Amino acid sequence: MGRGKRGIDGRWSDGNLCLSSSRGGAQCLLVVFAAALLTVQAANSAAVSSDWTACPPSRPLTHCVLYGHRGRLQALSVSPDGRWVAVASSDGRVRLWEIGGSAWVAATLEGHRDEVGAVAFHPGGGVLASGGRDGKLFLWSLDTGTVLRVLDHPSAVWSLAFNPQGTLLAAGTAEFSVKVWDVVTGNLVAKLVALPSDLGRTVSTAMAVVFDVAGRYVIGGFDDGVIRIWDLHEEEPPRLLFGHPSEVRALAVNPVTGDLASAGPGLVFLWPTPWGVHYGRTVARPGLPMHAVALAPSGDILAAGGSDGRVTLRDTTRWEEIGTLEVGAPVVSFSFAPDGDLLAVAALDRLQLWFVGAAAAEEGETRSDPRE
């Protein structure tokens, strides 16, 4: 997908797109002919505020700010090769930022009729999934800018995750369930329903969803404060994890140990494999929403952030704070780049790129934009 102003038509066409998997092998998506639904437009209107540091940044705990979104940011995802950041917005658009050497908006993906709540890159890197309040889930080809598939269901999508093999896509929905699709066929293969727990709280929305490192388990964080874990190989009720007093807003899996991290109001927990009793506890302020949690690819750094505009970096082995990023606006989502050096942060209406590769060597430091 190159620079420029030329729009790329999003019509479907006959043919196949084969996706390479991070685990080896390939899957092919059949693309069938249909009426034109979506467009992908290159955008040059974004601004990069980086006069005091390079963008992407390369000095420890420095960052640059990328403007250009017209709505509230909802979610983001970093591509497996670290070249792209996809950002979902309340204006119904997904913007693709290229960050592999410079920072600029490569394309704007349009098609959702309401706010976009979730985005996720395929492990092979060639496909992006987006889902929103309009109840649609799109699979986009990053190579051609076309829409490969549209998945419809009657409720909003607020979280997305591919399994490590790239064969399944899970969506957290507003109908008290997680749905799982076969990426190749587009068929719904599982509807994992969250029944009320013994806590007696009302459950309606899967606010976060992830797969375990092997791709066998689907893990959902719900608005009743309960984490539910389904085994895709067994037709059994989900395992329930209790500890959050209210909604679980974010989940992340340690790619090295398989441990689970969860975030909710005022709390971040780590659940060691096989996800028994949690350990580690971060208290921001009582009731302060914690919207995001992420683990570095090395598994040794956990990032957590929320409404106070701060991202805390913590050593996962010692559970000690090693740095704080003063973002300056409520944090809604973030993700590490594959090399672990860069943290992409969605805050209010802007994207920030933070260099955190040397965070462990800068223990206890707090950094912010000196212009704010």
The answer as to whether 1 is a domain residue is: no
pLDDT, averaged across the chain: 80
pLDDT (tens digit per residue) in 194-229: 988 767 787 788 999 999 999 999 999 999 999 999
Q: Higher pLDDT residue, 360 or 66? A: 66
Task: Specify the 3-state DSSP secondary structure of 176.
Answer: coil
Q: Is the pLDDT of residue 371 over 60?
A: no
Torsions phi, psi of 51, nearest 5?
A: -75, -10
Percent of the residues in the chain that have a pLDDT greater than 70, as a whole number? 77
Domain count, the chain: 1
Angle, alpha carbons 134-36-19 (nearest 5°): 80
pTM: 0.82
> Which pLDDT value is given to residue 281?
61
The answer as to whether 33 is a domain residue is: yes
Torsions phi, psi of 110, nearest 5?
A: -120, 140
Tokens of 48: 């990069």
The answer as to whether 2 is a domain residue is: no
Listed residue (162, 189, 169, 171) closest to 131, CA to CA: 171
The answer as to whether 50 is a domain residue is: yes
Q: Is the pLDDT of residue 44 over 70?
A: no
The answer as to whether 34 is a domain residue is: yes
Q: Is the pLDDT of residue 54 over 90?
A: no
Contacts of 116 (CB under 8 A, 6+ apart): 74, 75, 88, 89, 90, 92, 93, 94, 130, 131, 132, 133
Listed residue (55, 11, 247, 246) closest to 147, CA to CA: 11
Q: Is the pLDDT of residue 73 over 90?
A: yes
The answer as to whether 310 is a domain residue is: yes
Domain that holds residue 65: 8-368
Concatenating the DSSP letter of every residue in 37-55 gives --EEE-----EEE-TTS-S
The answer as to whether 3 is a domain residue is: no
CATH code of 352's domain: 2.130.10.10
Strand pairing report for 177-182 and 188-193: antiparallel
Q: Strand order in 331-336's β-sheet?
A: 47-49, 63-67, 350-355, 342-347, 331-336
Task: Specify the 3-state DSSP secondary structure of 121.
Answer: strand
